[in-house]
Amino acid sequence: MICNMNIHEQYMYRCLELAGKGAGAVAPNPMVGAVLVYQDQIIGEGWHQQYGQAHAEVNCFKSVAPEDVPYIPESTLYVSLEPCAHYGKTPPCAELIVQHRVPQVVIACVDTFAQVAGKGIKILEAAGITVHTGVLEKEARALNKRFFTYHEKKRPYIILKWAQSADGYMAPEQGTKVMLSNALVQRFVHQMRSVEGAILVGYQTALKDNPYLTNRYFGKQQPLRLVIDAQNALPETLHLKTDGLQTIIYNHKSSLQFDALTYVPLAATSPLPEQIVKDLYQRGINSLIIEGGQKTLQQFLDANFWDEAFCIDTPVLLEQGTPAPQLAHALIHNSITLGDNIIKHYTRTHEYL
């Protein structure tokens, strides 16, 4: 049954707000929030806080005060994603809802994960529970865009990011290094890294910039670091190879494991983007941010493997150097001004989704 009443949207917005608290901590699981309402009063709420731990519905029921427990069988449960129906790291939430004798459940969107995919709703309806779906469905799917892309397109959600000079260059001539983005933007980038599953750079970026590719300001969550080094030619002294954090090196030569370094061979005869997204899908990585360089970014653009792009416009003039990637079939979603930098956020046009 499809239901779009304003009262339902009010409580579903709260579910989405709660769900967002799990950003960066629950992947590859979806972010989910739940609210229990009795006579227009919230008596319980919860969200999925950590991967492998209790789901939103469990935390919601646990939050109900002892004096309100008798009202659960007369309450409505709001949840931002269809309750799970399978045994994974936790028991099925759909069965938990049935056990609590909740008479009505309002769901934002169906879970397209194969082990759920409508099965949770069927469990609820078989128990005589009234189920409404489609309340703030668009917003709920947007919140879990990484999760849905992973299960529906069989690849990670891919975000491109680069900074460019006022005259359209990413970097100056060989042998020189110029910091284009300012300190505020650099903090913004660290925040982006804190919620993504993996981060990728190409050979030249790793060699010239010697980056850490870590999140140093927003919690402890770190993306899995990836670098393309076709000939295994990067120096052993780079931060990516010496700081002890997990790093995958895509190459054409070897399949080896040295402490935190994993060498993954890719075929030289096949496009790299397709091989990389396939490998990440098989590893359960549901999001990827690509930070350069120009060749790597353009390869993913040309292969149509991208979902969002963040282009950082700076006032620096380089006059010559490496041209910025060519972004086609894109819509400007919004822009953010941070000091003298402007971050332009692009999404793909609908016909190229």
Q: Where in the sequence numbering do the catalytic residues fall?
A: 57
Pairing relationship of beta strands 330-338 and 341-348 according to DSSP bridges: antiparallel
Neighbours of 61 (CB within 10 A): 22
Check if the beta carbon of residue 33 is closer than 8 Å to that of residue 17: yes
Q: 205 burial class (0-12, 13-18, 19+ CB within 10 angstroms)?
A: buried
Best CA proximity match to 206, nearest among 227, 233, 231: 227
Instruction: Order across the sheet with 157-164: list the strands.
Output: 256-258, 261-265, 247-251, 224-228, 198-201, 287-290, 157-164, 308-313, 341-348, 330-338
Q: Which structure tokens are listed for 31?
A: 């972010």
Q: Decide: 191 and 282 in contact? Cβ < 8 Å.
A: no
Pairwise CA distance, residues 221 & 326, whole Å? 31
> Which residue intervals of 105-174 are DSSP H helices?
119-126, 137-143, 145-153
